[in-house]
Structure 1
C-alpha cells in the first residue's frame, strides 16, 4: 500500500453551487414540477462532500472499502460525498521510552532509555499496513533500543572501539537507522533518536564506579610518567649541549632516578644538598 492523491475540488466553488441547486429546487416545486426533486437531491448529496483540512493533517479516503487516496493539502475542499474519511496527523511527535534494563555487549546489566522524534510520511501505510501505527512505533522503539544496547558496550576499554557512553553521535545514528528500517512498513520517518538515560544497573553500579576510578588513576599516572621521562631526557640533553657538567653512565642513572622520583612522586620531595665529601 502506497499513498496517492485523492480527487478533490475547491470547496468554495461547490459552496456557491449549493444555493443554486436549492433555489432551483424551490422554483421548480413552486411551479408544481416534480423535476424539482432532482436539484433538491443533489443539494442533499453534495453537503457531506465538504471537508476542512487543518495544517499538518490529512484525510485518508476509502470508497466502499477501497482506498482511493489521501488529501494532504490544508484548506477547504469538496470530494466524493460517499467516501469514508479517516483523520491522521502529520505533525512531528516525540516518544520517550521507559527506562529498561538490558545487558550491553560485555554482558553488564545497564539501564537505558531513549527519545525518538518521528512523523508519518505515508498515510496509506500508517492506516492500512499496521493495526495501530502509534503503538507500533512504541513497541519497535523498545525493541531497537534493546538491540542497540546488546551491540555496544557501556564503556570501551580500548581506543577506537565505540561505546554507548564514548560515542554518542555514532550510537544515535545507529539507533536511528535501526528504527527507520523497522518503521518503514508503517510509513513513519524517524527524524532523530538519542539516548536520554544511561547508567549501570544498581547491583553493579558501585563496582563499576571503582573500576572507572581505577582506570582514570592508571591513565593519569601513565601520562605523568610519560611527561616526567620527557623532562628528564630534555634536562640531560641540555646539560650535555651546554657543557655544564660531564656525567658518566653511573651518575646519569643516579640523576635520572632522582629526577623521576621528584617528578612522579605523589608527595612532596625533600631535597638533599650534597656539599662535598668530608674526606678527600
Structure 2
C-alpha cells in the first residue's frame, strides 16, 4: 500500500452548490414537482456527506466501500468524494518514551535501559492499512530494538581498547538505535527522527559489585601513572647528580637512593624522613 492524493475541491464552493440544490428543491416542492424535489434533496445530501475539514499537520484517508481512494494532506475545508469513510491520521512529530527495560549486555551483565523515540508518519496509507495499530506497533518495535541494541554492546569496557560501549559512546549507540528502528518501522510508514538513551545503569543486584570493580580499576590506573612518574623522577635525579658531579655513587648507593625515592613517591601515606648526621668514625 502506498499513499496517493485524493480528489478534493474548495469546500466553500461545495457548500454554495448544496445551498443552490436545497433552494431548487424548495422551489420544486412549492411547484409540486416531487420527482425533481427528491432528486435535488438526494444530490444535496450526497454532496453534504463529502464535506470534510482537515486540520494543520493532519491527513484524512478516504475509504469508499472498502477501497482506498487516496489521502488529503492539505488543511482547510474541502468537498471530496461523497459517501466515503474519512480516517484521521496525525502527521505531527511525536515522542515515545520507553519504560525501563532490564536486559543483559553482550558480556551477560544485567542492566537497565530506556530511550526516547522521536517519530512522525510520512505515509498515511501504510500507517492505516499495513499494520493493525501503528502507534502500538511503534511502541512494541521500539522496545524490541532497544533490547536488541543493548545485547550487542557491553555496558562499559575495562581495558584500553577502542571498544564501543553503551556508556561511553552515546552518540554511536543513538545512531545504531535509530537505524535499527527505521528498518523496523518503515513498513508502517513511520520516519524515525531521533532516538536517544534516557536511562542506563547496572541492575541493582550487581550495581555495588560493578562500582567496586570500577574503583579498583581506577586505583590501578592511578598507581600505574604514579609508578611511571616515580621511575622518571628517580632516573632524572641520578642523571642530574652524575652530570653535575655533586656525588659519586656506586651501584649499591644508587639502588638505595632509587628505593628511597620510590617509597617516598609511591607510598599512600607521608613518609617520615631519617636524617643522616654522619658517621662516628
Change (3 A) 1:7 1:238: farther
Matched, 1:134 2:128: no
Find 2:210's aligned residue among 208, 211, 214: 208
Moved more, 23-32 or 256-265: 23-32
Find 2:163's aligned residue among 153, 161, 164: 161
1:199 alignment partner, SS class: strand
Moved more, 142-151 or 88-97: 88-97
What CA deviation, in whole Å up to 9, does each residue of 1:114-162 have, x standing for no partner?
2222221111111100111111111111211111111011111222001
Find 1:267's aligned residue among 266, 269, 275: 269
Moved more, 92-101 or 262-271: 92-101
Moved more, 157-166 or 121-130: 157-166
Residue 6 of structure 2 corresponds to which residue in structure 1? 6
Residue 30 of structure 1 corresponds to which residue in structure 2? 30
Residue 83 of structure 2 corresponds to which residue in structure 1? 82
Moved more, 243-252 or 93-102: 243-252
Unaligned 5+ segments in structure 1 are none
2:2 alignment partner, SS class: coil
The Cα of 1:266 is off from its aligned counterpart by 0.8
Moved more, 224-233 or 56-65: 224-233
Residue 221 of structure 1 corresponds to which residue in structure 2? 223
Within 5 Å, give how 1:185-204 maps onto structure 2.
185-204=187-206
What CA deviation, in whole Å up to 9, does each residue of 1:90-136 have, x standing for no partner?
22222222222211100112222222222211111111001111111
The Cα of 1:256 is off from its aligned counterpart by 2.6
Residue 113 of structure 1 corresponds to which residue in structure 2? 114
1:217 alignment partner, SS class: helix
1:152 alignment partner, SS class: coil
Change (3 A) 1:238 1:53: farther
Change (3 A) 1:248 1:10: farther
1:81 alignment partner, SS class: coil
The Cα of 1:61 is off from its aligned counterpart by 0.8
Matched, 1:252 2:279: no
Moved more, 136-145 or 9-18: 9-18
The Cα of 1:238 is off from its aligned counterpart by 4.3
What CA deviation, in whole Å up to 9, does each residue of 1:5-39 have, x standing for no partner?
11111112222222222223323333444434433
The Cα of 1:87 is off from its aligned counterpart by 0.8
Change (3 A) 1:81 1:273: same
**Partners in 1 of 2:236 and 2:24 — Cα distance?**
106
**Partners in 2 of 1:164 and 1:129 — Cα distance?**
33
**Partners in 2 of 1:122 and 1:239 — Cα distance?**
80
Superposed CA RMSD in Å reads 2.0
**Count of aligned residue pairs for this structure pair:** 279
**Partners in 2 of 1:2 and 1:277 — Cα distance?**
100
1:60 alignment partner, SS class: strand
Residue 55 of structure 1 corresponds to which residue in structure 2? 56
What TM-score results when the alignment is normalised by the length of structure 1?
A: 0.91
Residue 39 of structure 1 corresponds to which residue in structure 2? 40
The Cα of 1:243 is off from its aligned counterpart by 5.0
